[in-house]
Amino acid sequence: MAETYRQLREYNNSFNILLVLHVVMIAVGLGAAFYMEHNGHVVTGMNNQIVWGLPHVFAIFLIVSASGALNLASASSVFSKLAYKRFARLSAILAIALLIGGLVVLLLDLGRPDRLIVAMTYYNFKSIFAWNIILYTGFITIVGIYLWTMMDKTVARFNKAAGWGAFIWRIILTTGTGSIFGFLVAREAYDAAIMAPLFISSSFVYGMAFTVWVLITMCQATGHRLITKEVSQKLRELFIIFIAAMLYFTAVHHLTNLYAAEHIGVERYILWSGSVFTYLFWGGHVFIGSILPMLILMKSDLGSSRVGLTSASILMLLGGMAHIYVIVIGGQSYPLSLFPGMEVTSTFQDGVFGNYMPTLPELLLGLAGVSMAMFIVGFALKILPFLPSPVAEDQ
Amino acid sequence: MKIVLIMQKLIMTMLGVAFIGVSLLASVGQASAQPEWMPNPPKAIGGQCDLDPKEMRVKHMTLLDHKRDQTMHDGIRTKKYSLKNCIACHAVKDESNKYVTVKDERHFCRSCHDYAAVRIDCFDCHASRPQDTMNKAAKAAGNPHAKSAGISAIGKPGDRTVATLRKFIAGEVK
Amino acid sequence: MISLKQDQTKVKETKVTSGDEAGRREFLKGSAAALALAPGMTLFAYGEALAKPADQAVSTKSRWGLLIDAAKFSDEDVDACVKACQDENGWSDTGKPLTDPQWIRRVNLKNKKTEEQFSLPMMCQHCAEPPCVDVCPTGASFKRKDGIVLVDKHICIGCRYCMMACPYKARSFVHEHIEDQKEHAPRGIGTVESCTMCVHLVDEGKEPACVKAAPAGAMVFGDLNDKTSKLAQLIKSVATQQVRADLNLDPGVRYRNI
Ligand code: SF4
Ligand code: SF4
């Protein structure tokens, strides 16, 4: 085999246009963040009941995807699936980029983003949130080292170890992200240990969807084939397995909640009350994000084609957003039960479903996070040999 | 690529010109031997407190910080280095005999912070003028120095320089 | 270190501890011989505990708490407490109910079975095991040694995780710029706030504002650790409840007649 990886040198204009679009999006998003910080959160849809809004949906979605984006790299170094080795570098850089994108959104939505230095110097080690900050920076470092062992022959012998390290770290990271919710004892929608495996299985789906989408975009930009037919088939099968796993854990999550009498209310609210979350759950997460891509992928020739894989990936990503939205916003919207057995009202939205209408600046900030991730990847591809080299048309 | 290079050169040239311009202006300023333009914070209502101005100019943030943690976490509410007390004593009145908030450039803290271009974070949360607990003597006396506040009071407005600020902080000027 | 002025103020301050064996011991701080209570101190306002000297750190010896008797509150009474808190701490409604600050609120309850209706004041319960403190990434949410749970707004980054974690909806986020705060109750944009149990008054040996505004005996403030305090005695002798006791957070605010 000749060179396995190459730097992005020849590409058509679509790539440049994409990069410019991403830069514009980032600029707009930063403007939106500044606007929100300047005026305070009163200009957003977030309030004292729905304290985490659309920016958090984006941030968590990106962070969860980041860990899943490492799938192909892990498959090659940890599980010795050599067919994926060609995608290992791209997969690793994508993981770093997605994580940075998510963190930027999270940071810019803080009430006091100017206190970043405080966030980094004061740690409460009891806080799962503080641990997550360590997990995130650790992830970037470890995957960075991993990338290095992939690219520098002198340290190549550490590749396997670094691959394992990154693999273990990413599982802990997603567990940590899931636990942000799992630890909220008083929120009925979250109070479940199943949150962690649910997040891990979702991360496989969303991360791989990002990877495949980027790969196919690069096929278009370079005008070359980058994925062999064989690998396309494998990706298709992997997707099916991962979606099935995600659906399984989603089902377990809701079924166990239904089993616990005190959680029936919140389950009813989300699953069949006809609230916006009901539609997002069934229509977004289950139908658009799982069943539809499943149907596409089940058909062997359509599912492994460029069109099939692209549309399935995009559907999974959209469904993923809906999924995280239901978890983050839906869980907050359901009122806390302060006095079981009583009807509760107050001037502070006790006993009523929380209202949340995302505003434009929040959306722009979230999208800027995605653009940030994509721009980092695009830029990295240009300066270092991350891309797999093209394969022949008949492979 | 070419455009980027040209832009780079342009920016570098502009920076260079700006630098030369600023240095020229600075030397002209020095040559004219005017009194330096420096901060002139208003005098405190309660007279000289027993804290050395030199020390306060250099260390006020550290001292306030330390006290803030003691008050916040341990409930230690002595007056020394308490922001509330500093504010009460260093209050400045406007024409209508009202204490100014930090929005007014005559505010004690701003008289120097504006000069040094250091953002004050305190008053996002803290009251920047005295209220009920203001010390009574001060209330009666008013503040005769209100109008002397501001950064333009000593010398002619000119460039703010780090050297002048250093001198001020070191207490070489009263 | 301590200036002359400081010494003079200290002369006025006394420390009175409620000892279990020796009864009440009083001793002077500083070298002055005169003994006088600082003005505004009410000696028997709530049991034996008294203001600590200003220069002394709070300790775990006390744990401040409240007992709220729902049966003694009409809607108007609760509103009076809310108003008192607003006046004392400088927060108010601005006509935006979703984002307005909320340190204490009136919760209206209706028993689904008996249809009995009543209301009570609800605020930070000053939990002994506060989830808000556990989750706070920077340690801005903290519990003072004497059990009062506060937000150190100097290091709060406004992540709102504590609001997610609090089972009592006790916290609110400052959504906009505010001016002319009370000098004893700093609060500002981008940080989270909640009932401070009027810590500035408690440190002076006074009662929280809501307690003062409540009908006689409807709200009792005191030291849960001091077995001789009125509060501790009441809790020992009458049936009291903790809201969401199932969560085992051991709130410092207790209720009666819910
Ligand atoms: S009531 Fe809420 S804010 Fe208050 S201490 Fe308990 S968890 Fe924290
Ligand atoms: S909002 Fe502030 S107090 Fe609450 S958890 Fe975040 S940093 Fe801590």
The pairing of strands C253-256 and C64-69 is: parallel
Residue A28, exposed/middle/buried by CB under 10 A (0-12, 13-18, 19+)?
A: middle
What angle (nearest 5°) sits at the alpha carbon of residue A216, between those of residues A210 and A220? 140
Return the domain boundaries, chain C.
Answer: 3-124+200-256
Average confidence (pLDDT) over A272-279: 91
Kindly list the domain boundaries of chain B, sorted by start residue.
1-33, 43-146
User: Which atom of ligand 2 lies at the shortest distance from residue A111's CA?
Assistant: 1
On whether any CB of chain B is under 8 Å from the CB of C146, the answer is: yes
- pLDDT score, position A363: 98
C19 φ, ψ to 5°?
A: -85, 150
Distance CA B104, CA B150 (A): 10
Which residue's CA is the closest to the ligand 1 atom numbered 7? Answer: C166
C32 has pLDDT over 50: no
pLDDT of residue B168: 76
Contact between C155 and C139 under an 8 Å Cβ cutoff? The reply is yes
Q: What is the DSSP letter of A209?
A: H
C8 CB contacts (<8 Å, ≥6 apart)?
A: none
Reading the block at residue B131, the tokens are 């209220």
| Mean pLDDT of the region A330-342 | 91
- Would you state the structure tokens that stand for residue A303, as one six-digit string? 């599912």
Tell me which residues of chain C, numbers 155 to 214, contact chain A at a CB-CB cutoff of 8 Å.
155-161, 163-169, 171-177, 189-192
| CB-CB neighbours of B9 under 10 Å | 10
| Alpha helix positions (H), chain A | 13-39, 54-69, 71-77, 88-108, 116-121, 128-151, 159-182, 195-222, 229-259, 264-272, 276-279, 292-298, 300-303, 306-325, 331-333, 360-383
Tokens of B31: 């040559």
| Chain A partners within 8 Å of C155 (Cβ) | 115, 118, 122
pLDDT of residue A365: 98
**Residue B19 confidence (pLDDT):** 56
Reported as a single tens digit per residue, the pLDDT across A16-70 is: 999 999 999 999 999 999 999 999 999 999 999 999 999 999 999 999 999 999 9
- Contact list in B for residue C7 (CB cut-off 8 A) is none
Q: Quote the pLDDT of residue B157.
A: 53
Could you tell me if A13 lies within 8 Å of chain C, comparing CB atoms?
Answer: no
**Window 17-56 of C, Cβ < 8 Å to B:** 52, 54-56
Question: b or e along A226-260 (b: 16 or more beta carbons within 10 Å of the residue's beta carbon)?
Answer: bbbeebbebbbebbbebbebbbebbeebbeebeee
- Give the pLDDT score at B124: 92
**What separation in Å is there between the alpha carbon of A387 and the centre of ligand 2?**
42
Please name the residue of chain B whose CA is at the shortest distance from the CA of residue C142.
Answer: B73
CA distance A154 to B146: 70
pLDDT, mean of residues C20-28: 34
Question: C104-149, pLDDT tens digit by residue?
Answer: 999 999 998 999 999 999 999 999 999 999 999 999 999 999 999 9
Q: Which residue of B has its CA nearest to C193?
A: B125
- What is residue A354's DSSP assignment? P
Of A171, A212, C203, residue with least CA distance to B75: C203
Indicate the range of B5-19, B44-58, B123-137 predicted with least confidence: B5-19
Judge whether residue C49 has pLDDT over 80. no
Cβ–ligand 1 distance for C166 under 6 Å, the answer yes
Where do the domains of chain A lie?
5-335+363-386
- Out of C6, C154, C186, the one facing B78 most closely (by C-beta) is C6
Hey, which of C133, C149, C151, C187 would you mutate to test ligand 2's pocket, going by the most ligand atoms within 8 Å of its Cβ? C151
Instruction: Determine, for residues B125 and C55 on separate chains, whether the beta-carbon distance falls below 8 Å.
Output: no
> What is the reported pLDDT for C14?
37
Residue C195 Cα: closest atom of ligand 1:
4
C210, C199 Cβ separation under 8 angstroms: no
Instruction: Give distance in angstroms: CA of A175 to centre of ligand 1.
Output: 26
Q: What is the DSSP string of A290-348?
A: IIHHHHHHHSHHHHTSHHHHHHHHHHHHHHHHHHHHIIIIIHHHSPP-SSTTEEEEETT
Chain B touching partners, 3 or more CB pairs below 8 A: C
Model confidence pLDDT, tens digit, residues B39-83? 878 888 777 777 788 888 888 999 999 999 999 999 999 888 889
Chains that touch A (3 or more CB pairs under 8 A): C
Q: Any idea how long chain C is?
A: 258
- Ligand 1 binding pocket includes C102 (Cβ within 6 Å): no
Q: How much is the pLDDT for A389?
A: 83
Confidence of residue A274 (pLDDT cuts 50, 70, 90): confident
Determine, for residues C122 and A345 on separate chains, whether the beta-carbon distance falls below 8 Å: no
- Tell me if A280 sits within 8 A of A287, measured CB to CB: no
d(CA C255, CA C235): 10
Q: Are the CB atoms for B92 and B143 separated by under 8 Å?
A: yes
**B92 vs B42: CA distance, rounded Å:** 7
Structure tokens at A93: 């850089």
Report the mean per-residue pLDDT for chain A: 91
For position B13, what pLDDT does the model report? 56
> Can you tell me the ipTM of this complex?
0.91
Write the pLDDT tens digit of every residue in A214-240: 999 999 888 888 888 889 999 999 999
Among all residues of chain B, which has the CA nearest to that of C143?
A: B73
Q: Is the pLDDT of residue B3 over 80?
A: no
Measured from CB, residues less than 6 Å from any atom of ligand 2 are C 135-138, 140-141, 151, 156-162, 192
Reduce the secondary structure of chain C to three states and give it as a string. Answer: CCCHHHHHHHHHCEEEEECCCCCEEEEECCCCCCCCCCCCCCCCCCCCCCCCCCCCCCCCCCCEEEEEEHHHCCHHHHHHHHHHHHHHHCCCCCCCCCCCCCCEEEEEEEECCCCCEEEEEEECCCECCCHHHHHCCCCCEEECCCCCEEECCCCCCCCCHHHHHCCCCCCEECCCCCCCCCCCCCCCCCCEECCCCCHHHHCCCCCCHHHHHCCCCCEEEEECCCCCCHHHHHHHHCCCECCCHHHCCCECEEEECC
The tokens 């359901």 sit on which residue? A334
% pLDDT > 70, chain A: 98
CB atoms within 10 A of CB C256: 19
CA distances from A167 to A84, A162, A235 (A): 15, 8, 19
pLDDT above 60 (res C22): no
Q: Does C140 sit within 8 Å of A341, measured CB to CB?
A: no
Q: Is the pLDDT of residue C48 over 80?
A: no
Assigned architecture for domain C3-124+200-256? 2-Layer Sandwich (3.30)
Average predicted confidence (pLDDT) for chain B? 73
pLDDT number for residue C30: 34
The minimal CB distance from B50 to the residues C3, C184, C203 is found for: C3
- Residue A302 pLDDT > 70: yes
Cα A351 to Cα A336, B82, C102, C112, C113, distances in angstroms: 7, 42, 16, 13, 17
Distance B110 CA to ligand 2 centre (A): 29
pLDDT at B154 over 60: no
Cβ–ligand 1 contact at C149 (below 6 Å): yes
The per-residue pLDDT for C26 is: 34
Residues 6 or more apart whose CB falls under 8 angstroms from that of A95 comprise A66, A67, A69, A70, A73, A139, A143, A170, A207
Ligand 1 site, residue C242, Cβ cutoff 6 A: no
> Which residue from B minimizes the CA distance to C183?
B127
C132 C-beta closer than 6 A to ligand 1: yes
**Per-residue pLDDT at B46:** 74
Residue C36 pLDDT more than 50? no
Name C228's Cβ contacts closer than 8 Å, sequence gap at least 6. C18, C20, C47, C48
> C60-115: per-residue pLDDT in tens?
999 999 999 999 999 999 999 999 999 999 999 999 999 999 999 999 999 989 99
The answer on pLDDT for C3 being more than 70 is no
Q: What is the pLDDT of residues A71-109, one digit of tens each?
A: 889 888 888 888 888 899 999 999 999 999 999 999 999
Has residue C249 got a pLDDT over 80? Answer: yes
Contact C4 B50 (CB under 8 A): yes
Fold for the domain defined by A5-335+363-386: Formate dehydrogenase/DMSO reductase fold (1.20.1630)
The yes-or-no verdict on residue B135 having pLDDT over 90 is: no
- Whether ligand 1 lies within 6 angstroms of the CB of C148 is answered as no
Contact (CB<8Å) A343/C113: no
Q: What is the DSSP letter of A43?
A: G
**Which of B78, B83, B123, B128 best tests the C interface by mutation, with the highest count of C CBs <10 A?**
B78
Query: In this model, does residue A143 exceed pLDDT 60?
Result: yes
Decide: helix, strand or coil at residue A56: helix
Phi-psi region of B65 (alpha: psi -120 to 50; beta: other; left: phi over 0): alpha
Which of C2, C146, C188 is facing B125, going by the closest CB pair?
C188
**Distance from chain centroid for Cα A74:** 17
Q: Which atom of ligand 2 is nearest to the CA of C152?
A: 3
Distance CA A190, CA A212 (A): 31
d(CA B60, CA B64): 6
pLDDT at A225: 85
Q: What token pair was written down for C55?
A: 């220069």
Q: Are residues A19 and A375 in contact, defined by beta-carbon separation less than 8 angstroms?
A: yes
Q: pLDDT at residue B147 above 50?
A: no
CA of A120 to the centre of ligand 2 (A): 14
Give me the pLDDT at residue C25, please: 34
pLDDT band at B20 (very low <50, low <70, confident <90, very high): low
DSSP state of A391: B
Task: Give the confidence band of B165 by pLDDT, cuts at 50, 70, 90.
Answer: confident
Is residue A375 a contact partner of residue A383, using CB atoms and an 8 Å limit? no
Residue of chain C whose Cα is closest to the Cα of A126: C134
